């Protein structure tokens, strides 16, 4: 048993994280675009910019931290814009298509740091090793196997489209961020989300499945979907053919999933129940039945890959050997925009944001930039890259339920400010302390 002193987050940043990154910036090699796993100078500089910005969550006098966040972000921005990456090997693709291109995965020039797991028989010989190292390729996929023309099999698993069911569903708020003021979609949406899937299993519509998926049984029962044919299609109001596709959803051979049957724009929520058009005694029009359409939704493709190590094919255990892009150059512009709000009153913030948007072919923003403007742009550019919680916590959006009430009211109902911080482990760590009662974060037992 021992009695440690609990350091403050500010102390962790000031005494450990930032000094380590400054040391790394000085001593890491310049490297080249092929560097994987081992960080280089630009990795350290990028993380310095991110760390200084994130530290503002924990300090009273934020000025120096914002200034340093801007300084280090601009160090990389200026290296790219003024020197073509001569000093730190910085790079921004001119075409957004290249950012998540599999052909660019290992040598991605825009990645400030990327990491790939190593897998071969000498290192991961057991069947329960390599396949769990990275699951990013599957996490953001919808529940494809809920439709019987899709199954999770070895041949499909290793394709770019994949076949394993995922876990993370985009919220109504996230999808709304990609809708422009004129009703069109931000070009990034179609480049990073998948809305259509082919069948990888032969399927013939039965009456039971037709009833379950609200089909006109007099039309679809007996129709067959062969491997390689359209199986699932998610349609959005912004699609040019939305009206005609929506009219066909009850009679189409493949499953057409209507945005309006999954998301509620008024309540900014996901519809958990479905009101049937083609009613039966089991499938009613009163909204009392489980929404089977909610298993299908736009699926993020940033982490899709065909780079797998076949560890145990019969058990669908494949090691993902693609490179994860942990930090990208475009984030430096977003960090600079947020820091500029505090350092310069936002005089340059719009320019930084529009550099990111124009590269993606999106409409330039106009008007006054606020923290919410930056947060929204970070949502569009960085969704699925593991930073959103930190963004919301840093900017005070989780200080109370206000932000969630505006963007995700159903989640706001469960908001508890204590849960913004996770608890310390109560099984091994806290029982080893003499002062466990003061070490645990607020709102948790010890």
**Residue ranges of domains in the chain, CATH in brackets:** 9-115+324-413 (1.25.40.390), 141-302 (no CATH), 416-446 (no CATH)
Upper half-sphere CA count for residue 114 (Cβ side, 13 Å): 25
What is the reported pLDDT for 2?
A: 79
Q: What is the CA radius of gyration of the chain?
A: 24
Q: Is pLDDT at 22 greater than 80 in this prediction?
A: yes
State how far the Cα of 350 lies from the Cα of 337, in Å rounded to an integer.
7
More reliable by pLDDT, 118 or 218 = 218
At residue 3, the pLDDT reads 85
Distances (CA, A) of 287 to 277, 282, 284, 444: 11, 12, 7, 37
Cβ(79)–Cβ(85) below 8 Å = yes
Residue owning tokens 């000085």: 26
Q: Which of 138-142, 238-242, 374-378, 426-430 has the lowest mean pLDDT?
A: 426-430
**Band (40; pLDDT cuts 50, 70, 90):** very high
CB atoms < 10 A from the CB of 300, how many? Answer: 24
> How many CB atoms neighbour CB 79 within 10 A?
22
pLDDT value of position 125: 59
Instruction: Please state the rounded mean pLDDT for residues 25-51.
Output: 97
Distance CA 406, CA 50 (A): 27
Q: What is the pTM of this model?
A: 0.96
pLDDT of residue 132: 78
What is the pLDDT of the chain when averaged over all its residues?
A: 95
Kindly tell me if the per-residue pLDDT of 336 is higher than 80: yes
In sequence order, which ranges of 257-359 are alpha helices (DSSP H)? 329-343, 349-359
User: How far is the C-alpha of 394 from the C-alpha of 352, rounded, in Å?
Assistant: 20
Q: Which residue has the tokens 């040391």?
A: 23
């Amino acid at each position: 048993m021992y009695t440690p002193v609990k350091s403050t987050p500010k102390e962790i940043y000031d005494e450990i994280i930032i000094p380590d990154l400054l040391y790394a910036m000085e001593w890491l090699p310049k490297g080249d675009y092929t560097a994987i796993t081992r960080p280089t100078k630009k990795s350290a500089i990028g993380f310095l910019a991110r760390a200084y910005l994130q530290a503002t969550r924990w300090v009273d006098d934020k000025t120096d931290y914002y200034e340093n966040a801007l300084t280090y972000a601009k160090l990389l921005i200026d290296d790219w814009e003024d020197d073509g990456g001569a000093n730190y090997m910085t790079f921004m693709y001119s075409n957004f298509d290249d950012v998540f291109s599999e052909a660019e995965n290992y040598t991605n020039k825009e990645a400030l740091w990327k990491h790939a797991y190593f897998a071969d028989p000498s290192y991961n010989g057991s069947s329960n090793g390599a396949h769990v190292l990275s699951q990013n390729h599957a996490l953001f996929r919808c529940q494809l196997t809920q439709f019987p023309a899709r199954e999770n099999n070895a041949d499909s698993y290793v394709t770019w489209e994949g076949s394993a069911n995922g876990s993370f569903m985009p919220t109504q708020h996230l999808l709304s961020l990609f809708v422009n003021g004129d009703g069109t979609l931000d070009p990034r949406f179609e480049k990073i989300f998948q809305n259509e899937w082919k069948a990888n299993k032969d399927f013939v519509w039965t009456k039971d499945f037709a009833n379950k998926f609200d089909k006109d049984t007099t039309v679809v029962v007996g129709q067959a979907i062969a491997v390689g044919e359209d199986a699932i299609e998610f349609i959005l109001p912004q699609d040019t053919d939305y009206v005609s596709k929506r009219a066909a959803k009850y009679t189409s051979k493949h499953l057409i999933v209507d945005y309006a049957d999954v998301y509620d724009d008024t309540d900014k929520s996901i519809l958990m129940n479905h009101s049937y058009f083609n009613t039966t005694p089991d499938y009613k029009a009163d909204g009392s039945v489980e929404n089977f359409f909610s298993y299908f939704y736009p699926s993020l493709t940033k982490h899709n890959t065909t780079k797998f190590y076949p560890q145990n094919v019969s058990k669908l255990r494949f090691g993902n050997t693609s490179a994860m892009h942990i930090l990208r150059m475009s984030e430096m512009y977003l960090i600079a925009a947020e820091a500029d709000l505090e350092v310069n009153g936002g005089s340059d913030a719009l320019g930084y944001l529009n550099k990111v948007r124009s590269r993606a072919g999106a409409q330039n923003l106009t008007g006054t930039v606020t923290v919410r403007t930056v947060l929204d742009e970070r949502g569009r550019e960085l969704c699925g890259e593991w930073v959103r919680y930190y963004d919301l916590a840093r900017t005070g959006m989780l200080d109370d339920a206000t932000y969630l009430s505006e963007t995700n009211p159903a989640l706001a109902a469960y908001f508890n400010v204590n849960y913004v911080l996770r608890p310390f482990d109560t099984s091994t760590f806290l029982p080893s302390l003499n002062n466990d009662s003061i070490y645990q974060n607020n709102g948790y037992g010890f």
